[in-house]
Structure 1
Amino acid sequence: MITTGPEIEVVDVVKTYPLGEGDVVAVDHLSLTIETGEFVAVVGRSGSGKTTLLNLLAGIDRPTSGIVRVAGADLGGLSESGLAEWRGRNVGLVFQFFQLLPTLTVVENVMLPMDFAGKIPAHQRRDRAQELLERVGVGDQAGKLPATLSGGQQQRAAIARALANDPPLLLADEPTGNLDSHTAGAVLEVFADLNTEGRTIVVVTHERDIRSIVGREIVLADGRIVTGEEAVTA
């Protein structure tokens, strides 16, 4: 189900989760459009729906109702295997806790998405992984296990892994949440540099300095986008 238009289009999406005898509404009739090449921060208090929205955009979760179109596909029309294939080719994911496999070296972690997606020829994968690690400033850590790296180095390696298949879209969930302020700023600058190439980036973050880097900020409260005075208090 290939579509044309913005990089991301969310139309009247609701996401509920069962809790006891009722449902919790995590995303409440939310609509938004993100154009190709935008750098967008999604902010809001804990429980506002930020991570749920990111999971919907990544095809990790499905909406209870509404339409989610991302990177040329209507995600509601894809099977689970179709979603996995689409995600591997189109979306790079970066998480708060890095999620590097501890028994693989850093360069092997970056190669792993290439092995799954099959988008990059096998003979090019190690060189590409090394180049990506060099690009984010940790090329000298390629042969080490993740546990021997600092938090900032691990997150840079995780960004390199997210870029493995050259996805048009990067989605990051609190990528600086485990980093000190100096290291967090450096990691956000990596995202800014990637955005200058035209890559679309959506970051869920609590970083107060994000406004100086991103092109647009979306504020969530109770699963809805809020503006004006609502946004100030959210």
Structure 2
Amino acid sequence: MLIGKMTVLRRFIVLLVILPLASSLPPHTCITPSTDTNLPSSINVALDSVVKKAPGTGFAEFRNPGGVNAFGRCTGAHVGLSCADCLANAAAIFRGNCGNYETGVVWYNSCFLRYSTEDFFGSWDAQPIYLILPSTQDAQIPIQDAVLQLAQTVSNMAVQSGAKLFAAMDQAFNGLNIRTMAQCTQDLSTSQCQECLGWLRDNIASNCGNKDGCRLFHASCILRYSTGMFFI
């Protein structure tokens, strides 16, 4: 596991984690420990609201200026009960691991949950946090160029999809099927969504290589490809 931090403009923190898909660790991060004894209860209020509302609509926000903000999102077709279970599990990870931290993010295949004492809404690069999960297996044939082209196509589709900011597609390539998926959080504008997905695309070549699958998660967008099938 590789973990690195570096300071960027506006003194935000970037966290990079590269893990194999087979890792048993839950994909989450907690940032900036706090001595505020009231913080855990404030986090619980924000999480409870989002976990309750998001499964019915696909996403939910909890805005609390000066307090804890939260955002929850279902991935693709994962709505209703499957999303509710996923978000509940994500919230449990926060309560068990991030109760005294100012920021927490959990990425799952079926959902995404985030909270912070910072106002992150409508700004994809605010406190940028990202996670890259390459497969442990190389593709049978060179696919990187095709993946980069498909990542561009599916990103454009997501940006043009309206309020969902989501798209997925299958493409035959030299005897393989490459499935790609892109999604942004609904607090972003279409231009911000394009920028966020573009930033992830720029990380494919250096971090995913010629692997047969790779998941790239940012706190505001997701990009994924695989030569195997995954549920969307």
Given the two structures, how large is their TM-score scaled by the length of structure 1?
0.29
Given the two structures, how large is their TM-score scaled by the length of structure 2?
0.29
Q: Larger helix proportion, structure 1 or 2?
A: 1
Q: Larger strand proportion, structure 1 or 2?
A: 2
Asked which structure has the greater RCO (Cα within 8 Å, sep 6+), the reply is 1
